[in-house]
């Protein structure tokens, strides 16, 4: 195989590995939210998370392959060190193909993790010295709000402003809703999708979609816990209306409260209540299986492209070695 053929093959591989994840993200970003509203929220949440992670991993690997291929002149034309050992172009390519995707992933995790920690600290700052009872913290605050705080163990925070507008059975709905967030680790799904959007910004439409789906998943769990979908729908609607009144200024708020992601009043309350008034959606396991295959295939394909780039450098190094030491093969 000639150097020209190797060069063409390597460029083709890294182009496909680098461009395909962006093309898939451009298609799935706008289409996925509507598609996954047709299945159970649990299936939709897992599907959105797996798609985001698969595309993000493929993006990072493809970017590493592209960087190595574009650096070919620098790696290839640099003078070889004495001993022709660890610093050959092929070995440098291998190191870069591992290090660059890892650096990209780390750069994506930092801002998302910092934002989550900041929100958690802001929430704790509002609690003062109040002590939780059975994992539930009642905060004297007129803002009608309830939210889940991840941790070991997790915590459900409920404001007196929300308790005042809900009947006892409706309070149980909100409590079961927030406990579902903690038990199912919904916050992890949201954080993972946000990390993925830092690696591939075309995935940003998946963030509000996964937030919507985890809220609907918690609604379904709450309805199952209280055994009455109508009561659950009424509780969600009343909580959202109370929160809307605060936002519009019709109800005074003494102080600004934190804005955690997994709140009982998040999302379109009308759509959530309507979904609870209807029978549960189908599980959609065939769709989830298809998503798993896609989520695995994308990074595997990008890894194949990166492997092809690495093979290109190894073949080129072998040719160079034969030219530098033509007697070694005898």
**Count of CB atoms within 10 A of residue 94's CB?**
18
Describe the strand order of the beta sheet including 155-159 as a list of residue ranges: 136-139, 155-159, 146-149
222-252 residue pLDDT tens: 999 999 999 999 999 998 888 877 766 654 4
Distances (CA, A) of 235 to 161, 215, 231, 269: 14, 14, 6, 10
* Tokens matching residue 13: 């591989």
pLDDT at 204: 93
Measured CA to CA, the distance from residue 122 to residue 19 in angstroms comes to 40
| Listed range (49-53, 63-67, 198-202) with the worst mean pLDDT | 63-67
Q: Which residues pair with 156 in a beta bridge?
A: 136, 148
Q: Could you give the angle at the alpha carbon of 123 between the alpha carbons of 184 and 187, nearest 5°?
A: 20
Using DSSP, state whether 262 is helix, strand or coil: coil
Cα Rg of the chain, angstroms: 26
Residue matched to tokens 């605050």:
141
Domains of the chain, by residue range, sit at: 3-324
| pLDDT confidence band for 255 (50 / 70 / 90) | very low
Q: What is the DSSP letter of 283?
A: -
Instruction: For 80-131, give the DSSP string.
Output: PPTTS-TTSHHHHHHHHHHHHHHHHHHHHHHHHHHHHHHHHHHHHHTTTT--
pLDDT at 3: 43
Whats the size of the chain, residue-wise?
330
Average pLDDT, the chain: 78
pLDDT at 98: 74
| Most confidently predicted of 63-72, 89-98, 251-260 | 63-72
Asked if residue 278 has pLDDT above 50, the reply is: yes
* Percent of the chain's residues with pLDDT above 90: 31
122-173 residue pLDDT tens: 666 666 566 778 888 888 888 888 888 887 777 888 889 999 999 999 999 9
* Tokens matching residue 267: 């999302």
83-130 residue pLDDT tens: 444 445 556 666 667 777 778 788 888 887 777 777 677 666 666 566
Measured CA to CA, the distance from residue 75 to residue 80 in angstroms comes to 10
Asked if residue 10 has pLDDT above 60, the reply is: no
Host H or E run for residue 159: strand 155-159
């Amino acid at each position: 195989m000639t150097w020209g053929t190797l060069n063409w093959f390597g460029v083709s591989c890294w182009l496909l590995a680098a461009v395909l994840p962006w093309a898939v993200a451009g298609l799935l970003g706008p289409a996925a939210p509507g598609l996954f509203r047709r299945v159970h929220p649990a299936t939709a949440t897992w599907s959105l998370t797996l798609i985001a992670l698969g595309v993000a991993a493929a993006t990072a690997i493809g970017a590493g392959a592209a960087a190595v291929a574009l650096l070919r002149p620098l790696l290839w034309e640099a003078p070889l060190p004495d001993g022709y050992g660890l610093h050959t172009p092929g070995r440098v390519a291998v190191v870069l193909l591992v290090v660059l995707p890892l650096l990209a992933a780390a750069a994506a995790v930092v801002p998302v993790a910092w934002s989550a920690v900041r929100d958690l600290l802001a929430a704790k700052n509002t609690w003062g010295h109040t002590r939780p009872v059975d994992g539930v913290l009642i905060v004297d605050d007129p803002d009608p709000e309830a939210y889940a705080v991840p941790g070991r163990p997790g915590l459900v925070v409920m404001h007196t402003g929300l308790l005042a507008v809900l009947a006892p059975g409706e309070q149980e709905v909100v409590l079961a809703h927030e406990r579902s967030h903690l038990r199912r680790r919904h916050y992890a799904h949201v954080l993972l999708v946000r990390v993925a959007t830092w690696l591939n910004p075309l995935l940003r439409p998946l963030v509000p979609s996964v937030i919507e789906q985890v809220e609907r998943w918690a609604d379904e769990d709450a309805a199952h816990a209280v055994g009455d979908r109508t009561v659950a729908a009424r509780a969600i609607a009343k909580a959202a209306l109370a929160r809307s009144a605060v936002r519009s200024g019709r109800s005074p708020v003494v102080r600004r409260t934190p804005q955690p992601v997994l709140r009982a009043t998040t999302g379109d309350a009308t759509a959530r209540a309507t979904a609870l008034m209807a029978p549960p959606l189908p599980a959609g396991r065939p769709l989830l299986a298809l998503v798993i295959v896609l989520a695995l295939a994308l990074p595997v394909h990008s890894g194949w492209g990166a492997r092809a780039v690495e093979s290109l450098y190894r073949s080129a190094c072998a040719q160079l070695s034969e030219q530098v030491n033509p007697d070694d093969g005898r």
